[in-house]
A = this chain, B = another copy of it.
Amino acid sequence: MTQPDPSQPRAAVIGIGFIGHAHIEALRRLNVPIAGVLGHEEGYTRREAAKLGLRPYLSLDELLVDPEVTVVHQCGPNDVHAGQNLRALAAGKHVFSEKPLGVSVEECERQLLAARQAGRRAAVNFTYRGYAAVQTLREIVRGGELGDVTYLRGHYLQDWLLYATDFNWRVGAPARETRAVSDIGSHLSDLARFVTGREPERVFARFTTLHPERRRPVGEVQTFAQGGGQTEPFTVTTEDQASLLVEYAGGVHANFELAQVAPGHKNDLELEVQGTRGAAVWRQERPEEIEIGTRENVRTVRLKDPGSAFTHYPGGHPEGYPDAITNVIRTFYTGLGGAGSDRIATFEDGLAAARFVEAAFQSHTEGRWVDTRQEVAR
């Protein structure tokens, strides 16, 4: 087995779509060398690698035997995550995986076990933890400024699948893998756990599908890319929308809404944490602000703290999504040589997300509250 030098991390990126490019850009900002990239198909890999000025790997084997590669970035489609991540861990690589870690609880459990056995760093990219304000919100909540947490309100709404003519490989997922819930609900759920430190215990879900039939382009489709040309009917079994009532440890209740068909909502992720003394809300589309309300006739808006570890520009100089993902990846690489950080998501968090998703699906299917807790060694 190759023994990459953890003091000299070098990345390889699997998957060269929207999110793969985002990883590559972040790695370059951080001056982490990139050994090469692997796409879903040889021709595509060669073309993209050439554009990027990077080495193309023509197979996972070729990537994994490269001793230069210390860290594997998993940016491929959801259904290949588990298999490829397990092989990467077996090859002694650290793994920085896109979410979802796997398409089932079982896939996630196996990866978590494998990572522990391999003794490798194993993280999941819940990007929104990378916003400085999210870290600040966590400190506000955990520091007790809001009193005891009592209630969570949240939503994650998008409109990129509004029309029946919108299509993407995600639409074709099997019903039980879910879509809105796993794609965006998992972000909201991770955010709630991260910020409050509480685990969901029960969930009641209602899913709705606005378009049970969509038009699918003949040929292939990329996320956020727009098609044209010929289409064919496609039966959709995954949900466009979901409402989730959740109960967390300690009697904390939550109401979450998810949709990929909500007109005008582009990437509208919002979490409000209510407590016995105050409430704080964070909105991804205005990411540098936290708004705090109390019973007093005052609303306070916490602005960017230029002194935070997750901010790199002065006040009033907006940092956004590319900076958030860079913060997550920076934190991962900073932790490689040592203790790691509890600020970014691990495979444990990836598993927690999968459990939440499965419980929601089961609740919707059976029309009842479902327990989300299952034992897992920690």
Interface residues, chain A, CB within 8 Å of chain B? 18, 22, 25, 28-29, 31, 52-53, 146, 150-151, 153, 155, 158-160, 162-163, 204, 206, 208, 210, 224, 241, 243, 245, 253, 255, 257, 259, 261-268, 274-279, 284-287, 292-295, 297-306, 312-323, 367, 369
Contacts and interface: CB of A to CB of B under 8 A. Distances in A.
A255 B257 contact: yes
A212 B153 CA distance: 22
A292 B301 CA distance: 10
Nearest to A318: B320
Contacts of A52: 31
A323 B193 CA distance: 30
Contacts of A319: 320-322
Nearest 5 A/B pairs, CB to CB: A264-B293, A267-B316, A266-B316, A318-B320, A266-B315
A70 to B, nearest CB: 16
A155 B95 CA distance: 42
A249 B28 CA distance: 45
Nearest to A297: B303
B293 A265 contact: yes
A314 B264 contact: no
Contact of A279 (B263, B302, B320): B263
Given A163-B295, A259-B274, A265-B316, 9 more contacts: A162-B295, A204-B204, A206-B253, A243-B245, A266-B314, A268-B316, A284-B318, A317-B320, A319-B322
A153 B305 CA distance: 26
A241 B31 CA distance: 40
A29 B31 contact: no
A187 B303 CA distance: 23
A254 B325 CA distance: 33
Contacts of A208: 151, 253
Residue in A294, A295, A302 whose Cβ sees the most chain B Cβ within 10 Å: A295
A318 B128 CA distance: 12
29 contacts: A22-B313, A153-B155, A153-B257, A158-B316, A162-B276, A206-B245, A206-B253, A224-B314, A262-B274, A263-B274, A264-B293, A265-B279, A266-B303, A266-B314, A266-B315, A266-B317, A267-B315, A267-B316, A267-B317, A284-B316, A284-B318, A286-B286, A286-B318, A287-B318, A297-B302, A297-B303, A298-B302, A298-B303, A319-B322
A264 B241 contact: no
Contacts of A317: 266-267, 320-321
Contacts of A301: 298-301
